[in-house]
Amino acid sequence: MDVFNDNLIRLIKNLAKIVPDSVIGTNLDNLLKLLEMSQTKVINGFIKYILPHKVHIHNENVDFFMKFDIEPVFGSDYWTMIIINEIIKTWKILNAKNKQMVFLYLKGLLSIAENYDIDNKTKTI
């Protein structure tokens, strides 16, 4: 879990440097505090909401994520919708090199999350 959080923190910090006026850049300290306070919640949320779409990340299928209907997954929570819309806006202004960096981080996070999920399932058996 520490490896997952460390990589996620690096991704968040890199995005904050690249796009300092984005929701990530302007809320960096709050995001880092959230990660610190809810370490297992973040990886478990990643497993629940992101892992099922791993094929699209591995294939770097940007269209899937830009057109993905998030409401059935996340509900119509106002703040969730605001954050996701801000992430989409941020993605649109990243250059190709930065987008590639994001995909590399996401692929690494997927691998870590899969191993974490497998380890937790075998511990409960």
Pairwise pLDDT comparison (77 vs 41), residue with the higher score: 41
CA proximity to 3, closest of 83, 85, 116: 116
Domain of residue 93, residue span: 2-124
CA proximity to 114, closest of 57, 47, 41: 47
Q: 23 phi and psi, to 5 degrees?
A: -60, -30
CA distance 18 to 53: 25
Q: Into how many domains does the chain fold?
A: 1
CA proximity to 25, closest of 35, 38, 6, 12: 12
Whether residue 66 has pLDDT greater than 90: no
Tokens coding 60: 């770097």
The mean pLDDT of 46-54, rounded to a whole number, is 87
The model's pTM is 0.81
